[in-house]
Amino acid sequence: MKLKYEFETTELGDEVIAVPVGNNARDFGGVLNLNDSAAAILKLLQKETTVEEIVSNLLEEYEGAREEITAFVEKFIDKLRKEDLLSE
Amino acid sequence: MVEFTAKIAGYAIAIKALYPETREVFKNYLTEEQPTISIKSSEERIIAERQLLREADVEEKLPVDDFSDAEIESNFLYREVAEQLSTHEIVLIHGSAVAVDGEGYIFAAPSGTGKSTHVRLWRKMFGSRAVMINDDKPLLKCSADGIMVFGSPWDGKHHLSTNISVPLKAICFLERGKENHIERIANTEGFLPMLKAVYHSKEAEREACILRSLQHIRQKTNFYRLRCNMEPNAAKVSYEGMKNERFRIR
């Protein structure tokens, strides 16, 4: 799976704001407000990847059990899917 | 081809346009200086620009098909200037910018909210103390000394603009209301509405520059939210709410 859009990000307090770029950016029509772990997932999704790969990447950076992180990743990916932001 | 050099936000830009009317758009910005940026229009670019506007049309209801080719060219040049200047710490903001006593106030809101109407009240209240910087698309430039507001040739339907630059005093997000009320908002709160109001590039590197500039502006600017009606008192309330900020203890 991979994001349909490319994003540039900027920090705002504890949040990360992701702004779409690229030829299809106009179709997106908005920005994403993310916490830093969601932003890390978004970054990984700029390239073709899988849930397992994302989880392994996050395990290197964040403390937490694999199950807990997997659940978080799946929940976030589900949100992205519902917003039609993923191509799979 | 119509060739000329225009100085916009401190940069001399060589422009090659197709239509003589385009030179008129830039008439207050012409310079003899050596250009450091160049932009060339072409029939293909005009066709692409018209198509782009037609797509935007769906949301904003612009009468794109009534626009002359020269008007479309002016729009293409605004987009291209914003693109080119984005890597020079300059962002274009959709808003009405007015200077009072040499300081710039920008009012931003969705089209049709009443930015221009509100600024007209300021001009009535202040007379010659108020100078219209630009009624539609002023430019913000980040520098070591702070943020400067520049006029631009794209000055809205009433063509209100002056080729000047002044330090930015405040950015005010305007909403219509029955009563007049202004409040300062945190600069983290001001960031998203500012993000909504500025020109964005679809090219990643340029957009990264724009986001960096916006962070810079956020850190050095006071943001306000104004709810206002169209009575003259609205201008008094908004000016009083913003002018003395530097003396307030935070």
Q: Alpha-carbon distance B62 to B70, whole Å?
A: 16
d(CA B238, CA B236): 6
pLDDT tens-place string over residues B75-86: 999 999 999 999
Query: Coil, helix or strand for B96?
Result: strand
pLDDT confidence of A16, banded at 50, 70, 90? very high
Residue of A nearest to B190 (CA): A12
* List of residues 6+ apart from B220 with CB closer than 8 A: B146, B147, B168
| Pairing status of strand B146-150 against strand B165-176 | antiparallel
pLDDT of residue B60: 65
- Among candidates B166, B216, B209, B167, which has minimal Cα distance to B191? B216
pLDDT above 90 (res A19): yes
Q: Does B58 touch chain A (CB under 8 A)?
A: no
Q: What is the residue type of A75?
A: K
Chain A with chain B: Cβ pairs closer than 8 A? 37
**Cβ contact (<8 Å) for B214 and A22?**
no
> Are A19 and B204 inside 8 Å of each other by CB?
no
Query: Residue B246 carries which DSSP code?
Result: G
Chain A interface, Cβ < 8 Å to B: 6, 8-13, 17, 19, 21-23, 25-26, 31
Q: Do B192 and A17 touch (CB under 8 A)?
A: yes
B159: left (phi over 0), alpha (psi -120 to 50) or beta: left
Residues pairing with B139 in the sheet: B92, B150
Q: What is the mean pLDDT of residues B199-204?
A: 96
Contact B195 A17 (CB under 8 A): yes
With a threshold of 0.90, does the pTM exceed it? Answer: yes
Set of chain B residues whose Cβ sits within 8 Å of the Cβ of A8: 204, 207-208, 211
Helix (H) or strand (E) holding A33: strand A32-34
Q: Does B1 touch chain A (CB under 8 A)?
A: no
Beta-carbon separation of A26 and B55 below 8 A: yes
For residue A88, is pLDDT > 70?
A: yes
pLDDT digits (tens, 9 = 90+) for A27-72: 887 899 999 899 999 999 999 999 999 999 999 988 889 999 999 9
Mean pLDDT of B20-43: 96
Among B200, B215, B217, pick the best mutation site for testing chain A contact (most A Cβ within 10 A).
Answer: B200
Burial B192-231 (b: 16+ CB within 10 A, else e): eebbebbbbbebeebbbbbbbbbbbbbeebbbbbbbbbee
Interface of B with A in 230-249 (CB under 8 A): none
Is A22–B215 a contact, with Cβ atoms under 8 angstroms apart? no
